Amino acid sequence: MTTENGLKSNLKEFITRKEVPVIVIILALLTYLLTSRGVPIILTIFIDFAVFAIITMSLNLETGYAGVPQFGRVAAVIAGAFAVGAIPGRILARFMDLPYGLDYASDTINFRVVPEINALLASSWLLSIGFLLFSLVIAAIAGAAIGWLISRPAIRLKEAYLGISLLAFGDFLMWVGHNWSGMVGGSVPIYVPDPFRIFAVDRFTVIVLVIFVAAFMVFIYMNRLARSPFGRSMRMIRDNDVSAAAAGIDVVKVRTQSLVIGSAVAAIAGGLYVIYTGTCTAFGFQKLTWTFWPWAFMMLGGIGSTFGVLLGVFLLSILRSMIVIFRYQWFGFLLEIGIDPLWLEFTLLGVVIIGVILFMPHGLVPEKIEPMLPRRNVRRVLERKNLAGEK
């Protein structure tokens, strides 16, 4: 009888959750796109979702859990992208007796060197896998280093001052890459060696699977981290850093660790993105796309809610793709009044942020208070208490 009541309670809890209608809407939109545009557009949406899910979950770690106003998310993404674009290819070029110095990033040399590296990668499974893993490790190290660097002002500044400094830091890195041509080509994009070239015609599908698996692993890691003592320390600092310090928590250490971990995760997404596109350029990493879009995703899903963040990223990724695909078909009439539908994608960002602030300040799936014990253990304790009371 107790088990039956528990099943009914779980079913009722699932049906009344806010996630269910959001999931239904996402599935309906995906079905429409699949029937109207085919599988390729679905795979493209999955890649966008997976990359931005990793970035937004890292942002949620720093802002949703630790309370840091991270308006410089693009900095870690740039660090990972630049590291993958500049380091692993040069190392292989060195062993292949190809140009590997500052001239590696020259547009007159890079377009000849990288195809030779790709030919080598396509000849060996072991080398391709090793190159991919090495690239992601390099990206994570670069992101962690940037996270530690930006944690220095995070220790001393708060609120708007910290947000502005982080925002400026992201722009600073972009302009460094844009003007230092020896790193990633400056204003001219460079090619990035492709460890997925070995899959030939199946390359795109395999990349989707790999990035999707990476996003799933980050989701598992973030969930475990949120339920750990470290996660509870971050939330305590977010809610009241004075009380946290009084309770013996090292506020500086926890904030530093959150920024290092979050930046390392975001940098991995940046590295995966340039491997997927096959090119790297500084101007490809604008704060609008790599900072404010993740903020919109997080606010829509629910700040501090990992699963809510995933739903927010998925829903907005689908809506963005639909606007890009159908903007002239659906909104072509706007041209008659002087409005170009080309800019509707960016208008959506502003509408989402304003709408969430006004009507859903806690997002689609607000942060839930998680018990220190697993739910099933709490339920057992309550059932035993009820049985003892009946006796």
Query: Residue 319: its pLDDT value, please?
Result: 87
Higher pLDDT, residue 43 or 7: 43
Q: How far apart are CA 300 and CA 352, in angstroms?
A: 7
For 192-211, what is the mean pLDDT?
92
DSSP assignments along 92-157, one per residue: HHHHTTS--SGGGG-HHHHHHHHHHHHHHHTT-HHHHHHHHHHHHHHHHHHHHHHHHHHHHHHHH-
| Residue 131 predicted with pLDDT over 90 | yes
Query: Residue 2: its pLDDT value, please?
Result: 47
Domain that holds residue 77: 39-287
Higher pLDDT, residue 75 or 340: 75
How many Cα atoms within 13 Å fall on the side-chain side of residue 84?
36
For 49-72, what is the mean pLDDT?
93
* Position 269, amino acid: A
Torsion of CA 228, 234, 237, 240, to 10 degrees: -70
| Residue 269 predicted with pLDDT over 90 | yes
Q: How do residues 85-94 score in pLDDT, each as one tens digit?
A: 999 999 999 9
On whether residue 325 sits in a domain, the answer given is no
Query: Residue 314: its pLDDT value, please?
Result: 93
For 169-173, what is the mean pLDDT?
87
Give the CA distances from residue 62 to residues 285, 313, 360, in Å, rounded to whole numbers and listed in that order. Answer: 20, 17, 21
Nearest 5 degrees, angle CA 379-CA 385-CA 391?
140
Give the pLDDT band of residue 168 (cuts 50, 70, 90): confident
Looking at the structure of the chain, the number of domains it has is 1
Percent of the chain with pLDDT over 70: 92
Structure tokens at 379: 């339920």
Query: Residue 386: its pLDDT value, please?
Result: 75
On whether residue 148 sits in a domain, the answer given is yes
On whether residue 112 sits in a domain, the answer given is yes
Q: How do residues 10-34 score in pLDDT, each as one tens digit?
A: 444 444 467 788 888 899 999 999 8
Q: How far apart are CA 74 and CA 84, in angstroms?
A: 15
Give the pLDDT band of residue 147 (cuts 50, 70, 90): very high
Query: Residue 338: its pLDDT value, please?
Result: 78
Q: Where do the DSSP E strands lie in 160-268?
A: 190-191
Query: Residue 371: its pLDDT value, please?
Result: 61
List, in order, residues 6 or more apart from 291 with CB less than 8 Å away: 71, 72, 73, 74, 167, 170
Neighbour tally for 277: CB within 10 Å: 16
On whether residue 146 sits in a domain, the answer given is yes
On whether residue 390 sits in a domain, the answer given is no
3-state secondary structure of 190: strand
Give the pLDDT band of residue 47 (cuts 50, 70, 90): very high
On whether residue 173 sits in a domain, the answer given is yes
The alpha carbons of the chain give a radius of gyration, in whole angstroms, of: 23
Q: How far apart are CA 178 and CA 168, in angstroms?
A: 15
Closest CA to 23 of 295, 364, 325: 364
On whether residue 34 sits in a domain, the answer given is no
What's the full length of the chain, in residues? 391
**Residues 120 and 113: beta-carbon distance below 8 Å:** no
On whether residue 384 sits in a domain, the answer given is no
Query: Residue 257: its pLDDT value, please?
Result: 93
Closest CA to 198 of 117, 119, 84, 91: 119
* Position 45, amino acid: I
Give the CA distances from residue 128 to residues 184, 197, 200, in Å, rounded to whole numbers and listed in that order. Answer: 22, 8, 13
Q: How far apart are CA 62 and CA 298, in angstroms?
A: 12
pTM of this structure: 0.88
Give the pLDDT band of residue 267 (cuts 50, 70, 90): very high
Q: How do residues 346-372 score in pLDDT, each as one tens digit?
A: 787 778 778 877 888 888 888 876 665
Averaged confidence pLDDT in the chain: 86
- Listed range (90-99, 159-168, 206-215, 297-306) with the worst mean pLDDT: 159-168
Query: Residue 14: its pLDDT value, please?
Result: 43
Q: List alpha helices for 157-202, DSSP H.
A: 159-179, 181-184
Query: Residue 324: its pLDDT value, please?
Result: 84
Query: Residue 115: its pLDDT value, please?
Result: 93
Query: Residue 390: its pLDDT value, please?
Result: 61
Q: Which neighbouring-strand residues pair with 279?
A: 191
Nearest 5 degrees, angle CA 192-CA 83-CA 277?
35
Give the pLDDT band of residue 80 (cuts 50, 70, 90): very high
**Residues 370 and 227: beta-carbon distance below 8 Å:** yes
Give the CA distances from residue 130 to residues 95, 118, 126, 211, 369, in Å, rounded to whole numbers and listed in that order. Answer: 15, 14, 6, 16, 41
Give the pLDDT band of residue 1 (cuts 50, 70, 90): very low
Neighbour tally for 70: CB within 10 Å: 32
Query: Residue 11: its pLDDT value, please?
Result: 44
Query: Residue 326: its pLDDT value, please?
Result: 85
Query: Residue 7: its pLDDT value, please?
Result: 45
Q: How far apart are CA 204 and CA 227, in angstroms?
A: 35
